[in-house]
A = this chain, B = another copy of it.
Amino acid sequence: MTPDPVVPPVTTSAPGVLVTSAGEEEVLAAVVAALRRLCAGEAERHLRAPPVLDATVADRAGYSTSFPHLLGAVSRGGAVTDLVLTPAACYHVYPLYEGRVLAAPAEVSVLADCHRQEATAEPGRLRSFRMFETVRLGGAADCLAWRDDRLERLGHWLRTLGVPAERRPANDPFWGRPGRLLASAQRADGLKWELAADVADGVRQAVVSVNYHKEHFGAEFGIRTADREPAHTACLGVGLERLLLALRHAHGPAPEGWPARVRDALC
């Protein structure tokens, strides 16, 4: 048997939904291993979450009201069920800590297939994609410092990978009029930052993002720090298929042809 050649993602008849080859999976597995070493070395747990999520968790997290236009629900026979498609990997983490008091800051990495019911497809804007996240739960200062440190580390890592990235405030597509207020608060408070890279000619997209949630999840899920205050949380997310596209855009389609320092950083 000859190994499956690395070819561009196999598109399917559904826009924004890709089948991947063994060669691509090999690169993605190396990316995840590198990310775990790089960003989740102190994590107490490494989790893998399923592509569906209890709908009440998406409601409690605020996703259903902030991004209803992107949320995919699971229905059967035309009736909605108790499940939605996982919109972000970290939503699987907060319920696991529900009601807990943290003796010290905690960190968890999680990998999941996520879904965003995007209206249009362009390179890197998939509806079904994989997200690697690390989540920090602790005090405000701890989470802020953690977020800034991880943004720094990831920026450095992307440079090592030969993927120049632009650091910019995130501009999430919150829905409707209340959403415009949320979006402007997000920018004004400098809560969420992203590292954007070229994934195709003239197409620059966020490959990495870091987000400081204040006590949003801690309060909702009853997670507290040792002083019994609601825990603050922050997360780092990496879009795996986007990073693969950015690597290919920078170095060509075949990993065998990538510069040695890039391949070294991924093994």
Interface residues of A (CB under 8 A from B): 1, 4, 10, 12-14, 17-22, 24-25, 41-54, 56-57, 68-69, 71-78, 80-83, 85, 92, 95-96, 110, 113, 115, 117, 127-128
CA distance A81 to B118 in the complex (A): 11
Among A50, A92, A95, A96, the most chain B Cβ lie within 10 Å of the Cβ of A50
Q: How many copies does the complex hold?
A: 2
Q: A12-B95, A50-B128, A51-B85 are in contact. List 7 more A-B contacts (CB 8 A).
A: A17-B52, A18-B50, A22-B46, A22-B48, A51-B51, A52-B115, A72-B83
- 7 residue pairs bridging A and B, Cβ less than 8 Å apart: A4-B44, A13-B54, A14-B83, A17-B52, A17-B83, A21-B46, A74-B115
Contact of A14 among B54, B72, B117 (CB under 8 A): B54
Query: Residues of B contacting A48 with CB < 8 Å?
Result: 19-22, 24-25
Query: Residues of B contacting A72 with CB < 8 Å?
Result: 74-76, 81, 83
Q: Are A52 and B14 in contact (CB under 8 A)?
A: yes
A208 to chain B, nearest CB (A): 22
Query: Residues of B contacting A82 with CB < 8 Å?
Result: 14
CA distance A22 to B24 in the complex (A): 21
Known contacts being A19-B47, A49-B19, is A74 close to B76, with CB within 8 Å? no
